[in-house]
Structure 1
């Protein structure tokens, strides 16, 4: 293994000087690009303390056992505010056992860090952010591993994403733990991913705290997710997703939302002061109907529904969660909020389901030990006529999911 500090090329010059030449963004960009192009399996690429700006993306391709590290989360800052080419700030593909740690990346025009087709990706102590006010002009994803296996995102911070702060898509064997996410549309989103554990996170001041979605037209369907020991607090930020994006349907004030997914266990979470809905369970049918507009992502996805896609959630075990809500009114800027205000005024649901059930398949959901909480089945399948707040039909124990990672 080689340890390659970015200072190496600069120090060759500075050793002949009486005073050390400072590392600047102008000197580091070319040197770092060169090191990444020349990197070999097993290398550690170390970036010193400082604030550095880049006009081009940083790219890692086809590498194994490479560590990309800074001097500390708030000590090494990589800014793509002046980026002229490419969309992502950092892009990695076709790698094995890749580690990012101890730096901040910010203000890419697209995604801050995107990793694709990689087996073994770990983010540790990384801050990924947009530094201005939350805006639809911000990039979609702060952390964006997609089509990956063995993913870990830990002890990191995501701020300001116009889609999801920590997003994991179409990936297997995922751990998202001990992170802080805020001022994003979605704090954490697992989409079409399998064998996922989301725990120990602090999701606050997003539009929606934690989303578990399954969308049609992708490479795989998701299943088997455990969401536990998270603080999902005051996710009441306005939704600033670009019009037509799937997450644009998420109402401000959403704690946890599960859509068209299955074999999910949600437990021991503190779901507090999310003004519209503590936890929502929805089918893709309802979300598409409420949120789709011509030309949107939802319309495109709907056109790709095939026999392998199941738009209904199932096998849900929701237990031992704690609810609090100091708010009297939901958002009035979203159809879900208006619906709750119409049918459940001054008694907003802590847990709501759309009531659109799978055909020809038994629906299994168990609610247990969640204290005194407000439940609502809105019966969207029948124009809300059979809506009810009685959850006794779901008072059961369906059995826990065995820990995915020992």
Structure 2
């Protein structure tokens, strides 16, 4: 019993709660000048923001414009701080636009999402930091970068820090590139949700609860496919999950490098996964996540008149997911190529169901690829491994049969 208590103490004690405290020297009295530049913007305007750390009390918005550039002097040079925001929920809000570029600045501490882009064809965000300062908290805004219902999205060379949901998030969008970014101290570092034709490469996702997520969720306008996750460094994602209660991302086990949930046609290859305590890659059905949330009593949801579970933009666990006849809750055609795996930890985090299961079923052994074992009906395959994976640590849980027939035999799932 003493040994179990010591292990429990050691595992919980080592789930960090990080803090981000960059040096700032805020300048008052520039808000009206900055706000005017947004209000007076027309097609093809270049909104130039000078060097300085500025406090802003309301959202800066663009709507219905084409070919606009929002440009600062650099990440650490131009800082827009929305702490204490009194009007609007977003920092920068872009809607119903074409060919918008945001570059060379920092947006921090918005009440809701720092940078939100909706219904826009052509959004490029480059060399931008989006963050919440101080100790990470569920009171932080949900998304650092939040393009949704967009086409032709590029997020490159950016930093996301402190999001209580996902740092770099792209939802219900088509043709997406997420490249060469840093994502740390978020619940989820990078997330593709219900999006098509997505490439996620060259990023570093570290010290989040989960590094890179690929999700399909019910009740939305489209479902995702053709997602490629490659050439990323995903390491030390062991931060305590600080998501809002009931949020779907709150079910992401701390210690997860990458999680694939209820989507199809995902290819994960040539990544480096290091020291993610629970699992480097986890693959699960929405059915399992729903049951976990119900058991953990985190499904205290608010309900809109459409029946969707929402709190602001945050996607909540949906008890009515089976009423969406177009939604398939099973992962399908998930292809695992060659990746590099290493883990110096011997215990998973146990503040989640996956970790508790692994501690009981596979004590003192790390897992490279963890799968709930629920096969997708009427699909060519659920999961397949390229043969370079013959020596990886694999565990299929067989949760549908109360773990009666789990397997570690990866060769059963080699790709044809």
TM over 0.5: yes
Report the counterpart of residue 97 of structure 2 in structure 1: 95
Report the counterpart of residue 414 of structure 2 in structure 1: 395
Aligned pair partner of 2:223 in 210, 221, 224: 221
Q: Which has the larger radius of gyration?
A: 1
Aligned pair partner of 2:389 in 356, 359, 370: 370
- TM-score normalised by L of structure 2: 0.88
Note the alpha carbon deviations across 1:329-363, whole angstroms, 9 max, x for none.
Answer: 11111111101111111123210111111233342
The 8 Å contact of residues 78 and 106 in structure 1, kept in 2 or not, is answered as: yes
Instruction: State the Cα distance separating 1:96 from its structure 2 match.
Output: 0.3
The 8 Å contact of residues 215 and 301 in structure 1, kept in 2 or not, is answered as: no
Report the counterpart of residue 175 of structure 1 in structure 2: 177
Instruction: State the Cα distance separating 1:266 from its structure 2 match.
Output: 0.6
Q: Does 1:295 align with 2:297?
A: no
In the TM superposition, 1:203-222 aligns within 5 A as: 203-222=205-224
The 8 Å contact of residues 187 and 209 in structure 1, kept in 2 or not, is answered as: yes
SS in structure 1 opposite 2:292? helix
Larger mean Cα displacement after TM superposition, 215-224 or 29-38: 29-38
For 2:30 and 2:69, the matched residues in 1 are separated by 18
Instruction: State the Cα distance separating 1:249 from its structure 2 match.
Output: 0.5
Instruction: State the Cα distance separating 1:242 from its structure 2 match.
Output: 1.0
Instruction: State the Cα distance separating 1:299 from its structure 2 match.
Output: 4.2
Instruction: State the Cα distance separating 1:321 from its structure 2 match.
Output: 0.3
Aligned pair partner of 1:343 in 361, 369, 373: 361
Aligned pair partner of 2:405 in 386, 399, 404: 386
For 2:299 and 2:334, the matched residues in 1 are separated by 32
Give unpaired runs (5+ residues) of structure 1.
Answer: 1-23, 398-406
For 1:354 and 1:282, the matched residues in 2 are separated by 5
Report the counterpart of residue 122 of structure 2 in structure 1: 120
Larger mean Cα displacement after TM superposition, 119-128 or 304-313: 304-313
304 and 253 in structure 1: CA distance in 2 versus 1, 3 angstrom threshold: same
Larger mean Cα displacement after TM superposition, 269-278 or 338-347: 338-347
Instruction: State the Cα distance separating 1:26 from its structure 2 match.
Output: 4.2
In the TM superposition, 1:2-13 aligns within 5 A as: none
Report the counterpart of residue 66 of structure 1 in structure 2: 68
Larger relative contact order (Cα-Cα within 8 Å, sequence gap ≥ 6): 2
118 and 28 in structure 1: CA distance in 2 versus 1, 3 angstrom threshold: same
For 1:379 and 1:133, the matched residues in 2 are separated by 38
For 2:43 and 2:322, the matched residues in 1 are separated by 39
For 2:121 and 2:375, the matched residues in 1 are separated by 36
- TM-score normalised by L of structure 1: 0.90
The 8 Å contact of residues 25 and 54 in structure 1, kept in 2 or not, is answered as: no
The number of residues matched between the two structures is: 375
SS in structure 1 opposite 2:407? coil
Aligned pair partner of 1:107 in 82, 96, 109: 109
For 1:129 and 1:235, the matched residues in 2 are separated by 18
Report the counterpart of residue 81 of structure 2 in structure 1: 79
For 1:102 and 1:180, the matched residues in 2 are separated by 15
For 2:320 and 2:233, the matched residues in 1 are separated by 33
Q: Does 1:164 align with 2:156?
A: no
For 2:317 and 2:192, the matched residues in 1 are separated by 20
For 1:248 and 1:78, the matched residues in 2 are separated by 29
Give unpaired runs (5+ residues) of structure 2.
Answer: 1-25, 302-308, 310-315
The 8 Å contact of residues 207 and 252 in structure 1, kept in 2 or not, is answered as: yes
Aligned pair partner of 2:329 in 311, 315, 321: 311
Instruction: State the Cα distance separating 1:366 from its structure 2 match.
Output: 1.9
The 8 Å contact of residues 341 and 348 in structure 1, kept in 2 or not, is answered as: no
